[in-house]
Amino acid sequence: MKDNSRDQNFFDRVYEVAKLIPYGRVTSYGAIAKYLGAARSARMVGWAMNASGKQEDIPAHRVVNRKGVLTGKHHFQGTNLMQQLLENEGIEVIDNQIQDLDTLFWDPMKEL
DNA sequence: TCTATGACTCCGG
DNA sequence: CCCGGAGCCATAG
């Protein structure tokens, strides 16, 4: 057990923020990373999401890249599961890209 | 220890 | 907005 303080915290932070994403809304990795104070570690947020498979309450499908593209849909179980989940929340997704992103985008820095 | 990789983002053209 | 290149940083092998 060395010092699990920082790492564990980072992952947990990401999970908590992901859980805080409102229904029918989406955000970007960079936004979460920035909110956590690791704006330059957007990739790490994605990595945390990858590990989120251990957590069932993590709506990773609400997290997309800055373009609103479902870059991580490939990591979901189903081929189009991510899109299905988003559409289920009333989010229109075309060609792996979220439509009307401006309205659906949820910025933790701005909302929290 | 070092290298490669990636669910990203920013910058210049 | 699209394209190519560079930066960043934790994890895996």
Q: Is the pLDDT of residue A4 over 80?
A: no
Q: If you measure CA to C1', which residue is closest to nucleotide C11?
A: A47
pLDDT tens for A67-111 read: 999 999 999 988 899 999 999 999 999 999 999 999 999 999 999
Mean pLDDT, residues A26-38 taken together: 94
Three-state secondary structure along A13-80? HHHHHHHHCCCCCEEEHHHHHHHHCCHHHHHHHHHHHHHHHHCCCCCHHHEECCCCECCCHHHCCCCC
Residue A72 sits in a domain of what CATH number? 1.10.10.10
How many Cβ atoms from other residues are within 10 Å of residue A60's Cβ? 22
A25: buried, middle or exposed (CB in 10 Å: 19+, 13-18, 0-12)?
middle
Write out the two tokens for A67: 């373009």
Domain residues for A75? 5-103
pTM of the model: 0.90
CA–C1' A95–C5 (A): 26
Closest nucleotide relative to residue A101's CA, C1' based:
C1
Task: Report if residue A108 sits inside a domain.
Answer: no
